[in-house]
């Protein structure tokens, strides 16, 4: 699939206010994609090349670097880019306008495919070390020189994390259900699979290549975090009791950090509420699990709290934040 197809679909979605119409446009895009690239289409659409739990670097480009990329790709002074950015307020639209005005914009351009864009962004994200900024800029400029102006708009928005489509994960799930089953009736099965594997691109790939029955077979795996359930706020205890039909099991709300622990033999991996790996922050928790959990393979979930050893009282949540990665 050509990336241009994504860009035009994104443009339609962006200019559409109704959520149902947005989902319809995205569904048509999924149907038009080859099954082998649907996972990459989903990844680019949700703005994440990899799920957080894989601990892979994301593309995340700051505005300063994005300006340098557009400056080099459009062959204009940086001051021109900054001035136009002040007017548009959007680095994507700025790139689109400047590349559209560039005489070399499409003269030697080769058509960009979805895999080519995905792979280039992934390669750029993994560049590190001395001189990495220049190398990353060069990598991004190389893809912009082949981009049509509208493609440049969405490539820049993708790398800066501001795609502006107005569609969340559930919108993407609805579009996948409609595209590959003909209705939104399969959304629950797709959401269930997403909840247990925390990788919407993987679910999309299975759905596109093997169908909804294969999606229903996606199950919990040790080493793959389960998406954590979150409570919904209501205005009063009375409203809560009405919502749960006057039957509820209530427990103390601990002021700590929610942790999901996966144990496979001696290997213990800890995940945060957002499925990020936080194993190194809690070596004591890892040791406790290795020592006291007898199961060879299991998934545990709980709240990690700081406790004052002298009094046994729970310490404030901020105590745990001192362990956060810099």
- Known catalytic residues are 253
**Cβ atoms of residues 216 and 188 within 8 Å:** no
Task: Tell me which residue of 146, 150, 143, 153 sits closest to 120, measured CA to CA.
Answer: 143
**CB of 205 closer than 8 Å to CB of 215:** no
Which H or E element spans position 298?
Answer: strand 297-304
Bridge partners of residue 301, in order along the sequence = 260
Burial class (CB in 10 A: 0-12, 13-18, 19+), 144: buried
298 phi, psi to nearest 5 deg: -165, 165
Query: Could you report how far apart the first and last alpha carbons of the chain are, in Å?
Result: 39
Helix 3-14 vs helix 38-46: crossing angle, to nearest 10: 40
């Amino acid at each position: 699939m050509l990336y241009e197809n994504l860009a035009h679909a994104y443009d339609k979605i962006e200019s559409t206010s109704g959520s149902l119409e947005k989902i319809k446009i995205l569904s048509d895009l999924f149907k038009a994609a080859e099954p082998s690239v649907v996972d990459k289409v989903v990844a680019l659409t949700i703005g994440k090349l990899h799920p957080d739990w894989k601990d892979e670097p994301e593309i995340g480009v700051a505005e300063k670097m994005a300006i340098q990329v557009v400056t080099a790709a459009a062959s204009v002074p940086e001051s021109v880019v900054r001035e136009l950015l002040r007017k548009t307020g959007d680095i994507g639209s700025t790139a689109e306008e400047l590349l559209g005005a560039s005489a070399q914009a499409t003269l030697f351009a080769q058509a960009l495919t979805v895999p080519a864009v995905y792979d280039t962004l992934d390669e750029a994200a993994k560049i590190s070390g001395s001189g990495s900024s220049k190398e990353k800029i060069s990598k991004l400029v190389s893809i912009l020189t082949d981009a049509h102006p509208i493609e440049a708009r969405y490539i820049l928005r993708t790398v800066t994390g501001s795609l502006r489509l107005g569609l969340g994960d559930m919108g993407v799930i609805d579009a996948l259900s409609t595209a590959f089953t003909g209705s939104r009736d399969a959304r629950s099965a797709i959401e269930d699979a997403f909840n247990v594997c925390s990788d919407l691109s993987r679910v999309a790939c299975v759905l596109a290549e093997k169908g909804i029955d294969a999606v229903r077979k996606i199950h919990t795996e040790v080493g793959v975090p389960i998406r954590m359930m979150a409570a919904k706020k209501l205005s009063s205890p009375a409203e809560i009791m009405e919502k749960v039909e006057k039957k509820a099991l209530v427990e103390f709300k601990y002021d700590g950090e929610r942790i999901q622990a996966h144990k496979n033999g001696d290997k213990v991996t800890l995940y945060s509420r957002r499925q990020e790996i936080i194993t190194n922050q809690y070596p004591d928790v890892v040791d406790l699990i290795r020592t006291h959990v007898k199961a060879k393979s299991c998934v545990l979930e709980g709240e990690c709290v700081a406790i004052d050893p002298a009094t046994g009282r729970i310490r404030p949540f901020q105590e745990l934040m001192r362990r956060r990665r810099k």
